[in-house]
Structure 1
Amino acid sequence: MILSGKYCPGDKLPSEAQLTRDHTVSRTVVREAIAALRADGLVEPRQGSGVYVLEPAAEVPAPFTNIDSARLSSMIELLELRTAVEVEAAGLAAQRRSPSQEERIIDALRTVTDANTSGAPSADADFDLHLAIAEATNNPRFCEFLQVVGPNSIPRRALDTASSEGSPHAYGAMINTEHDNIVTAILNGDEQGARDAMRQHLKGSQQRYRTLLRAAT
């Protein structure tokens, strides 16, 4: 009734006695309902006066729901955040990976490398490699972060190709080299090398987007 507008912000709700009669329930049920409404920020009991309907709180958007992958600035923001998280993830993966996780990383690397080499769409395979590295940290929060930002956080080939490399083949070869450097350092247990390689990979994407952003202004 509040959400439908029958009771508007500032209105006083009927008394407990009236609500028990209107809805054929006990006072305990009415009190529990009022407590639930209060917890949801819909009503406010006022001492000696009654229960009043509140203005609805402004809806807070869920994290990362307003990312526009078509906007260069939005992708730069996301890449900066990914860099802060994934550089450490690469170092932890080099330190903590298990043999089965190494195998998973190698399989993911092979898949994205084949896609880039053939010119096939590679965003999902690229994301899966980064997810495999996050899994190898053995800290589930890294995976949760990547799953929240999702595959749309992977730079788009068309943008990166247009920035400097000149052809899809050259861009794919460059990304394959960057991925290989990250994975090699992880498999060698080189924590700092893995961090450096991941930083170079993600910073490179940032720079290509910044180049396009400057060219568009």
Structure 2
Amino acid sequence: MGKDLPEEIAAELSQRIGRGEFAPGARLPSERDLSAHYSVSRPVVREALSHLKSDGLVEAKAGAGVFVTTNREPRFFRLPDVDIDETDSLAQIMELLMAVEVAATRIAAEHRTEADLKKIRRELLGMEYAIASDRLGDEEDFAFHRAIVAATHNPYFMSLSRHLEKGTRNVILTARTNTKMNLSVQLDAVQAEHQAIYQAIAEKNPEAAAVAAATHLRNATERARMYRRR
């Protein structure tokens, strides 16, 4: 696990709740047990649980522990699966990601630390290695964008990003699969777009970072359209 440990633990616990591993009304493991399971301190676990509480997934009961909520009104939404052949659906989802990703990238350029930058670069190099190894690199791509959101140090951006995770992963997987299968000559261009985003964040240039992120998303949308025309 990386620097944003509470977010990563919260995301995994959220997935376990979603899979039914912890049913509605079930008690989560204690802070001590979760701390041992994830090999982190109890304050890290406490912060992760706080994220889940703010999302309405769990509730604390004095003296009893933390429980998965029952009969709750969802406090969040998730993106539907993306059908690359549904032009309107793809365009609308990309518009949403444009609003979130561009803003997050701008803020990350302002607030990032050296540790944040190191993590973003690690994922950038991971994508480069994936291309050289003839792999999709979708996991590295998602991790790159997640690292940027973490670099905002804004818990609301991080929470929103977590709720959009399934849809974002699907968009990235679909985009990279189609680029590799149908537009392989574009792979270097995709990597260059990510490099431009990284460079602007490294230089702490919010405007350049926002432009680079917007350019990447517009080009990703156009590549999807190019695929549909083939």
TM-score of the superposed pair, with normalisation by structure 1: 0.63
Q: Secondary structure at the match of 2:186?
A: helix
In the alignment, the residues of structure 1 paired with residue 152 and residue 215 of structure 2 have an alpha-carbon distance, to the nearest angstrom, of 19
Q: Please state if 1:99 is matched with 2:117.
A: no
1:59-85 per-position Cα deviation (integer Å, ceiling 9, x unaligned): 99x623533345443333222211111
Equivalent pairs, count: 154
1:181-211 per-position Cα deviation (integer Å, ceiling 9, x unaligned): 0000000011111000000001101112233
Contact 1:96 1:136 in 2 (8 A): yes
* Counterpart pick for 2:160 among 139, 145, 155: 145
Q: Percent identity?
A: 27
Q: Please state if 1:68 is matched with 2:87.
A: no
Contact 2:82 2:170 in 1 (8 A): no
Following superposition of structure 1 onto structure 2, how do residues 52-63 of structure 1 map, counting pairs within 5 Å? 63=77
Q: Secondary structure at the match of 1:156?
A: helix
Partner AA of 1:104 in structure 2: K
Q: CA deviation at 1:161?
A: 4.5
Which residue in the other structure is 1:195 paired with?
A: 210
Following superposition of structure 1 onto structure 2, how do residues 1-217 of structure 1 map, counting pairs within 5 Å? 63-64=77-78, 66-73=80-87, 74-150=89-165, 151-154=169-172, 155-161=174-180, 165=183, 167=184, 170-213=185-228, 215=229
Q: Identify if the C-alpha distance between structure 1 residues 91 and 65 changes in structure 2 by more than 3 Å, giving closer, same or farther.
A: closer
Contact 1:119 1:172 in 2 (8 A): no
In the alignment, the residues of structure 2 paired with residue 109 and residue 192 of structure 1 have an alpha-carbon distance, to the nearest angstrom, of 20
Q: Secondary structure at the match of 1:137?
A: coil
Q: Secondary structure at the match of 2:135?
A: coil
Runs of 4+ in 1 over 6 A off after TM superposition: none
Partner AA of 2:96 in structure 1: L
1:113-168 per-position Cα deviation (integer Å, ceiling 9, x unaligned): 211232212111100000000011111222222222221121432323566x4x2x
Gaps of 5+ in 1: 1-39, 41-58
In the alignment, the residues of structure 2 paired with residue 103 and residue 138 of structure 1 have an alpha-carbon distance, to the nearest angstrom, of 15
TM-score of the superposed pair, with normalisation by structure 2: 0.59
1:65-111 per-position Cα deviation (integer Å, ceiling 9, x unaligned): 53334544333322221111111111111110011111111111111
